[in-house]
Chains A and B, each alone.
Chain A
Amino acid sequence: MARVTGWIRRLLDKPGSVDLAPFQRIVAEAGELEAGLRDRTEIMPSDADRIGADRIGADRIGADRIGADRIGSAEFCAVVREAARRALGERPFDVQLAGMLAMLDGHVVQMATGEGKTLVGALTAAGFALRGRRVHVVSVNDYLARRDAEWMAPLYGALGLTVGWIAESSTPEERRAAYVSDVTYAAVSELGFDVLRDRMCTDPADLVVPAPQVAIVDEADSVLVDEARVPLVLAGSADQGVALPEMAALVRRLSRGYHYTIDEEGRNVFLTPKGTDTVEKALGVDLYADPGVVTQVNLALHAHALLTRDVDYIVRDGRVHLINASRGRVAMLQRWPDGLQAAVEAKEMLAASETGEILDSLTIQSLIRRYPEICGMTGTALAVADQLREFYDLRVAVIPPNKPCVRVDEPDRIFATAEDKEQALLEEIAERHATGRPVLVGTLDIAESERLAEALRAKGLDPVVLNAKNDAREAEVVARAGARGAITVSTQMAGRGTDIRLGGGRAEEREREVAALGGLYVIGTGRHESSRLDDQLRGRAGRQGDPGGSVFFVSGQDTLLTAYLADESLPATDADGVVRDRHAAYLISHAQRVAEGVNLEIHRNTWRYTRLLERQRGELMERRDKVLHGDTAARAMLAACPERYRELTEAVGADAVQRAARQIVLFHLDRCWTEHLGFLSDLREGIHLRALGRLNPLDEFNKESVPAYRAMLDEIERRSIETFEKADLTRDLDEQGLRRPSATWTYLVQDNPFGSEWDRILSRVAGALKRRKR
């Protein structure tokens, strides 16, 4: 029966319906070959005889020759299994091999927590590398990239492959060395920044990143969907931020409701007429005649009213650090764009950090799409299967767990008010703790985690807190979290990728003891904006068939409900403050679906609008490459002003002229691209207004940006020729106005405060019009 339904689902192309049967057949075959390989002393070649793609030494395995075309066969499975067993002491389970085969086929596999995704990723990487491809394993952070690379190194060594990793602190030489390895582990942002930095090079010898071939994406849903709309930014030419402390002081005097209003989603703030009067009087200007001042006021107000310390950011070492909302970690590289960072620094009365001009930016989605072959793995892929298909043309294969999951997921406990919820939460924690069962409490932000820990201490309990503020102790805290009697209060840091072993990971005996108590108990203090994040949190309990339990506490005052369910309220409570009406559960999942829908719409819009930009960038980079690697610039100059060219050649020699022409064209090309990016972001900000004239904003955007691109090309030409005519080649070009940004740095832009609202009006306005037009 299950096979028939599976067949029908595939026919209808339902998500997660990749057929596993062929993979399972191969794995079963591999099982039969296993015994034969056990006794063979050498199954793999030494590093010395690595030649071409046929790397697994055929002579040593006898007749089972495994060439590039046999990767993915039963023999291959048996060999890598044996290799992993000998090199790492871990024998891959059948499901892990099936996962590897699905990934070699270019799918995203969904595997439950604790099923050993790292090993599956490494086996897949080895498979691709043995086919002769260069493999990049894309991690979510530096720590994981390095840990996984070092952990799996023996396996790669056993198979005769080299492995390297990249961290934020790696030097260009180290990076180059890592990139020439067969398999390279790197955080997605590092890969992106290397690509961005490469595109500013003026000398071919400075290039770092080789042509992309295969990407294996760890935590695929997070990287490919949640972060896909986050642009990686290369910035340059530093100057000090300009937010005025006076502005911060001025807005501090304003009061909410009277002087300014915050919209119901809590995303926008604006002055009331009263507030405008007050500000105009204080500053002595006509506010709406001078955009510069309005911007300052708006930014200060935004920083004051919408961004909360310890929720959106923390202050550490005199600097503002952003918190990544979906991971709960400090986002080291992220900054708010366009002056907001400086405004927040002014609010906290810190010294303004340097700001810069965006030289180029790249979204993670475009970065990953550069790879001709993509596959991925995660614990929660099914929920985003449609998006993976829409944006990356990837299918999801659901790998069953090695041992069935016996975790008990209790229904949500729903309360009317936040107080009732917190009260019940504390009681629940105390009650579970009394039995000695380890408890993991997942909170939504840092402030909440600290408040809760405080309240628990007041009750005489001893919780350990894990949040962005003490991320240094992360490994230690996680190691203890499964121990008997442990209470761990965490933000979403303990969501993804955290492996909590029962008993604290020390003795078998303790593990059995904790398992007998019922295993780890996970309590969520609120549902997240995405059901995937809920599932990730639940997934901390019940790894590898362990017992465990999970429950979420929800109140009608949670942000999820107030923001996405503004005009509906939960059903009435029973006498004890608990909501038991079945409708409440529906409303909560509805709010979550609304949130997911909004985020999807943002993602899709971002993608639609960046697609043209990506095309223009690709085209321009092609030209840039020609200039960089050839004499295109010199020939163009010769054609444009032959006399000057001859004159210069006589003066300083042909080589020097060629080099100068290249420098000049590259300089203006990069400069004009920066300006073009500025123009496009301006254009995009207000393009939704076109919908009011019943025009399609996307078409309008394209219509305006294409001529702008052409104008930019002409401008590059004009400026290059102008400089070429004037420049004195005997002196340094830098001093003649061709100074490149002295320092470049990279960061991720936290784009949400601006990006999303726009997309929302667009859909609202367009929706309203469409509705009426029909």
Chain B
Amino acid sequence: MLTAITRAFRTPDLRKKLLFTLGIIVLFRLGSVLPTPGVNSENVAKALEQAQAGESNNIYGMVQLFSGGALLRLSVFALGIMPYITASIILQLLVVVIPRLEALKKEGQAGTAKITQYTRYLTIGLAVLQSTAFVALARSGQLFPNSNLPVLLSNDVFPLVTMVITMTAGTAVIMWLGELITDRGIGNGMSVLIFAQVIAVFPAELINIYRLSPFKFAVVMITGIAMIAFVVFIEQAQRRVPVQYAKRMVGRRMYGGTSTYIPLKVNQAGIIPVIFASSLMYLPQLAVTMWGNSEKPNVVVEWLAQNLMQGDHPVYASVYFLLIIFFTYFYVSITFNPTEVADNMKKYGGFIPGIRPGRPTAEYLGFVLNRLTATGAPYLGFISLIPVVALGAVGASANFPFGGTSILIMVGVGLDTVKQIESQLQQRNYEGFLR
């Protein structure tokens, strides 16, 4: 991987692309720490410290992760990429529901371009809503429940409107930056920006740990690196089901072997099950926050508070694990439909040697996939749990940066991007005989 990157830097047009991408990331990070006008940044910094010292698990955890800490800092890019992601999910769903959009999608590129345009409009709409909500929270002091410092310089209407406009404009700029990376840089812009936000918090967190205890730092580093290596290994693992196409007569071939196959990954589901499961795990916390303080505590709420609030509690751990297993199977079943794949193959003259097209093929694929997922699902579960459990033991769990989600995102985006770099490199470098 390192050699790929150094070679990429030696290839002029690839170097240009890489530097372009890095430049965009730098801009993006700058915007993420640049405070919005009207914010009392000193107070925000203090409030952030207090928040970290107190409740480490706050309700905005996931959002905070994706915004790289920009959200609570109320920076220009506070909203991050979330509005755009939400907007594209909404439009994907609307395409299924609204016939007019479905028709557009069918028209190919021209139609898709229009849908993308709608996505952008919706992003702006969402950004207005979200920034208004956050500014309102900040104004009423609910953004940092543990702190009573005023985070805004003024509560007048005009500065508030300025903040909303600034954050909305920031979102539009992020959207543009992402598209620039996709067009002229390396990798998928949105993924690269998420990647940047996820790893942005690492240095600060690691330095914190180092200040606490160099020993803990060493343990965290070693565990982290070992886990990354393990995740890279499993993410690359695949079962190759050979396929033959029989619609053409072909002559003799020099290179044998099967280059035609269906690669079934051990982790066919990717990261989504973990995100689903952890979102669900917030529900008990929400319930406890809402009803936990009443005079006569409910039995259920009390039980929840005891068992499902602490990450290293056995009940929490097992529920989390089981949820991940469930979502992995669920997600694989909706994303990979063996019948659909078998029908497609049949239609275009493909078959798995020795197996009839149609239903027998679908059954075979389903069988293989189930076996693979039986390994993949526990893997996802362990990756998500190991940091919580193992590091709880050394007392570093509170601010351990290598959470399961972060590692999976990091490795996923990293692998994709490196693959793309390699593929582009390979197209450019030929050397050898007769040169």
A598 touches B427 (CB 8 A): no
Given A597-B109, A695-B263, residue A288 in contact with residue B353 (CB < 8 A): yes
Given A270-B346, A612-B427, A678-B251, residue A294 in contact with residue B351 (CB < 8 A): yes
B435 touches A623 (CB 8 A): yes
Q: Is A13 an interface residue (CB 8 A)?
A: no
Once the chains are docked, how many angstroms separate the CA of A619 from the CA of B419? 24
> What residues of A have a CB within 8 angstroms of the CB of B392 in the complex?
none
B249 touches A339 (CB 8 A): yes
Report the tally of A-B residue pairs with Cβ distances under 8 A. 196
Interface centre among B110, B247, B253, B341 (most CB of A within 10 A): B247
Interface residue from A355, A703, A713, A754 paired with B426 (Cβ < 8 Å): A703
Interface string of A655-695 (1 = CB under 8 A from B): 00000000001000000100110110011011101101111
Interface residue from B248, B254, B347 paired with A754 (Cβ < 8 Å): B248
Given A288-B351, A288-B357, A771-B92, residue A693 in contact with residue B264 (CB < 8 A): yes
Interface string of B384-415 (1 = CB under 8 A from A): 00000000000000000000000000000000
> What residues of A have a CB within 8 angstroms of the CB of B252 in the complex?
675, 678
Interface residue from B260, B357, B434 paired with A627 (Cβ < 8 Å): B434
> What residues of B have a CB within 8 angstroms of the CB of A731 in the complex?
none
A711 touches B255 (CB 8 A): yes
Once the chains are docked, how many angstroms separate the CA of A632 from the CA of B434? 7
A686 touches B108 (CB 8 A): no
Quote the shortest CB–CB distance from A564 to chain B (angstroms). Answer: 8
B263 touches A690 (CB 8 A): yes
A597 touches B247 (CB 8 A): no
Q: Is A338 an interface residue (CB 8 A)?
A: yes
B109 touches A600 (CB 8 A): yes
**A 237-252 contacts with B by CB, 8 A:** 242
Count contacts on A: residues with CB < 8 A to the other chain: 87
Interface residue from A287, A597, A758, A764 paired with B110 (Cβ < 8 Å): A597
Count contacts on B: residues with CB < 8 A to the other chain: 64
Once the chains are docked, how many angstroms separate the CA of A198 from the CA of B353? 41
Q: Is B282 an interface residue (CB 8 A)?
A: no
Once the chains are docked, how many angstroms separate the CA of A339 from the CA of B107? 33
Q: Is A348 an interface residue (CB 8 A)?
A: no
Q: Is A170 an interface residue (CB 8 A)?
A: no
Interface string of A595-608 (1 = CB under 8 A from B): 01110110010000
Quote the shortest CB–CB distance from A453 to chain B (angstroms). Answer: 35
Once the chains are docked, how many angstroms separate the CA of A773 from the CA of B249? 37
> What residues of B have a CB within 8 angstroms of the CB of A338 in the complex?
247-250
A702 touches B427 (CB 8 A): yes
Once the chains are docked, how many angstroms separate the CA of A601 from the CA of B359? 30
B250 touches A682 (CB 8 A): yes
> What residues of A have a CB within 8 angstroms of the CB of B108 in the complex?
593-594, 596-598, 600-601
B434 touches A623 (CB 8 A): yes
Q: Is A310 an interface residue (CB 8 A)?
A: no
Interface string of B239-262 (1 = CB under 8 A from A): 000011111111111110001111
Q: Identify the closest chain A residue to B89 (Cβ).
A: A774
Q: Identify the closest chain B residue to A679 (Cβ).
A: B255
Interface string of B341-375 (1 = CB under 8 A from A): 10010111111011111110000000000000000
A672 touches B254 (CB 8 A): yes
> What residues of B have a CB within 8 angstroms of the CB of A714 in the complex?
432-433
Interface residue from A355, A619, A686, A754 paired with B243 (Cβ < 8 Å): A686
Q: Identify the closest chain A residue to B347 (Cβ).
A: A268
Interface residue from B255, B259, B263, B358 paired with A692 (Cβ < 8 Å): B263
A774 touches B109 (CB 8 A): no
> What residues of B have a CB within 8 angstroms of the CB of A636 in the complex?
433-434
Interface string of B87-116 (1 = CB under 8 A from A): 011001000000000010011111100000
Q: Is A715 an interface residue (CB 8 A)?
A: yes
Interface residue from A339, A597, A708, A754 paired with B255 (Cβ < 8 Å): A708
Q: Identify the closest chain A residue to B253 (Cβ).
A: A678
Q: Is A132 an interface residue (CB 8 A)?
A: no
Q: Is A298 an interface residue (CB 8 A)?
A: yes
Q: Is B420 an interface residue (CB 8 A)?
A: yes
A709 touches B430 (CB 8 A): yes
Interface residue from B110, B359, B427 paired with A706 (Cβ < 8 Å): B427
Q: Is A316 an interface residue (CB 8 A)?
A: no
B260 touches A597 (CB 8 A): no
Once the chains are docked, how many angstroms separate the CA of A604 from the CA of B112? 15
Interface residue from A337, A593, A699, A717 paired with B420 (Cβ < 8 Å): A699
Once the chains are docked, how many angstroms separate the CA of A93 from the CA of B253? 59
Q: Is B265 an interface residue (CB 8 A)?
A: yes
B430 touches A710 (CB 8 A): yes
B88 touches A772 (CB 8 A): no
A693 touches B238 (CB 8 A): yes
Interface residue from A616, A683, A772 paired with B334 (Cβ < 8 Å): A772
A683 touches B259 (CB 8 A): yes
Quote the shortest CB–CB distance from A296 to chain B (angstroms). Answer: 8
A686 touches B341 (CB 8 A): no
B250 touches A699 (CB 8 A): no
A675 touches B254 (CB 8 A): yes
Once the chains are docked, how many angstroms separate the CA of A712 from the CA of B350? 28
- 23 A-B residue pairs with Cβ-Cβ distance under 8 Å, sorted by A, are A295-B247, A338-B249, A339-B249, A593-B111, A596-B107, A601-B109, A619-B430, A675-B254, A675-B255, A676-B254, A679-B254, A682-B250, A686-B243, A686-B260, A689-B261, A694-B270, A695-B263, A708-B255, A713-B430, A754-B247, A754-B248, A765-B344, A769-B335
Closest 6 CB pairs of A and B: A597-B108, A686-B260, A339-B249, A693-B263, A338-B248, A294-B246
What 16 new A-B contacts, CB under 8 Å, besides A268-B349, A291-B246, A299-B248?
A295-B247, A298-B349, A590-B103, A590-B107, A678-B253, A685-B248, A686-B245, A689-B262, A690-B263, A692-B336, A694-B268, A698-B423, A709-B430, A715-B254, A761-B348, A774-B92
| A interface with B by C-beta (< 8 Å) | 242, 263, 268, 270-271, 273, 276, 287-289, 291, 294-295, 298-299, 302, 337-340, 342, 355, 357, 590, 593-594, 596-598, 600-601, 604, 612, 615-616, 619, 623, 626-627, 632-633, 636, 665, 672, 675-676, 678-679, 682-683, 685-687, 689-690, 692-696, 698-699, 702-704, 706, 708-717, 754, 757-758, 761, 764-765, 769, 771-774
